[in-house]
Amino acid sequence: MGRAPCCDKANVKKGPWSPEEDATLKSYIEKHGTGGNWIALPQKIGLKRCGKSCRLRWLNYLRPNIKHGGFTEDEDNLICSLYISIGSRWSIIAAQLPGRTDNDIKNYWNTRLKKKLLGKQRREFTQALRNSRQLENSKACETSYSINGCFSLYRQSPQPVALPLLVESSASQENQASNSSLPHMFQPEEKLSYNHDHTQPNNLEQNFGTFHCMSDVSCAQNHEQLCENMTCSSFPNSSCSQLGSDLNTNFPAFGGIPEEIMYSMPQQLDGLDGFSAVDVVNCSSISSSVSENLGDTSSIIYASALTLTNYGVCHQKVAQEWTYLDEARLLGYS
DNA sequence: AAATCTGCCAACCGCCACATT
DNA sequence: AAATGTGGCGGTTGGCAGATT
């Protein structure tokens, strides 16, 4: 047999806490601690509350040194950075922000920070699009590829961005194995680029940092071959087309990425201050399954970062093309 | 002035891993 | 070993307040 039920649900009060309840709970815990048993605590002190509710009230509101509201720019940046790195693991994020609770951070993210970040990324994308267009004009005859899991990371991104590792070296695989609770992060030191003459550095790299993703992409004669050659060392048996599901499986933390971001349709974008994922229109040679899955895995992480031109690779959902074409049109690029 | 919309946030819900019986 | 409780966590809800129509 197990333990007794934690509380009598029928006789438990729900809803907002009164000042009297707060005072009762606070004074008891300050004097006696929780006693290591939240479930028994409300009965001890005469509160008609569930133990879980007492715990939450204490942790999120009554506990000393709790800060509410007034998030600083530094805190914003830290939250964004951690969210990008580990996803919606609020307790871990809260641990990095003294005085903040996971609930507070979660609420803050959902109501404000997400929109703020997306707006920022949209602006950056717009700028990147302009820059890439200029490059395109100046290098019209040169074909080259920059690949970062099929995407390039725009170097002007204000902060280093940690990305889930899709493909990694054997050394980094060991690292990942030693810390299986966290997704391995991209490090921006490795590059993959492709040029027709295989020797000349890609001028794009002056403006685009590239993170390596596809281990076997070293050379290809055309888009089709390039895509066929794409395999992922962290998922040795995977092709690009499997990447999306692999990501979902292996990096559940990223499952929290808002649907409106992952599957954004124009009308859905209206409500967001700024999402504009990146697409590339002139890459139709890549199979739709590849592009869809990669599109799915791209997220706010990539949103501003992924800048693709007709040098580049990959595109996302066909449905999104309208958005990007439309955006390009608005920017005077059509 | 009333109705409706929107943003915010405290609190609840349900799940999971682990502990206990 | 199986059943059940507990603590912890992230997702979601519902109510409130202010803004807008």
Tell me the three-class secondary structure of A4-43, residue by residue.
Answer: CCCCCHHHCCCCCCCHHHHHHHHHHHHHHCCCCCCCCHHH
Q: pTM to 2 decimals?
A: 0.52
Query: Which of helix, strand or coil describes residue A148?
Result: coil
| CA A230 vs CA A201, A236, A303: distances in Å | 21, 11, 22
Cβ within 7 A of any strand C atom: A 1-6, 36-40, 51-52, 55, 88-92, 102-103, 106-107, 110, 255-256
Q: Strand pairing partners for A164?
A: A185
Q: Give the residue among A163, A240, A292, A101 at the shortest CA–CA distance from A172.
A: A163
CA/C1' separation A100–C8 (Å): 17
Give A52 CA → C8 C1' in Å: 10
Q: Is the CB of A237 under 7 A from strand B?
A: no
Q: What is the CA radius of gyration of chain A?
A: 24
For residues A204 and A152, is the Cβ–Cβ distance under 8 A?
A: yes
A57 CA vs C17 C1’ separation (Å):
22
Residue A27, token pair as written in the block: 């004074």
Is A304 within 8 Å of A122 (Cβ atoms)? yes
Whether CB of A112 is under 7 Å from strand B: the answer is yes
Chain A 8-67 residues whose Cβ is under 7 Å from strand B: 13-17, 50, 52-53, 56-57, 60-61
Q: How many CA atoms lie within 13 A of A235 on its CB side?
A: 22
Tell me which residues of chain A have a pLDDT lower than 50. Answer: 1-5, 141-334
pLDDT of residue A19: 92
Taking the CA of residue A220 and the C1' sugar atom of nucleotide C12, their distance in angstroms comes to: 48
First to last CA, chain A: 71
Query: Which structural domains are found in chain A, ordered by start?
Result: 10-64 (1.10.10.60), 69-140 (1.10.10.60)
- For chain A, helix (H) and strand (E) counts, in that order, are 15, 6
Strands (E), A14-139: none
Give the residue nearest to nucleotide C9 (CA to C1'). A91
Q: Please, which contacts does A62-65 make with residues 24 or more away whose CB atoms are closer than 8 Å?
A: A62/A22, A62/A25, A62/A26, A62/A29, A65/A98, A65/A99
Q: What is the tens place of the pLDDT at every residue in A275-297?
A: 333 322 222 222 233 233 322 33
pLDDT at A90: 92
Closest-approach nucleotide to residue A56, Cα vs C1':
B11
**pLDDT at residue number A6:** 55
State, as a whole number of angstroms, the distance between the CA of A258 and the C1' of C10. Answer: 14
User: Rounded to whole angstroms, how far apart are CA atoms A9 and A42?
Assistant: 13
Distance A69 CA to B16 C1' (A): 30
Task: Show Cβ contacts of residue A269 under 8 Å, excluding neighbours closer than 6 positions.
Answer: A260, A275, A276, A323
Distance A1 CA to C5 C1' (A): 9
Q: What pLDDT sits at residue A185? A: 35
* Strand B bases within 7 angstroms of protein beta carbons: 7-14, 19-21
Of all nucleotides, the one whose C1′ comes closest to residue A92's CA is C9
Contact criterion met (CB below 8 Å) for A208 and A155 = yes
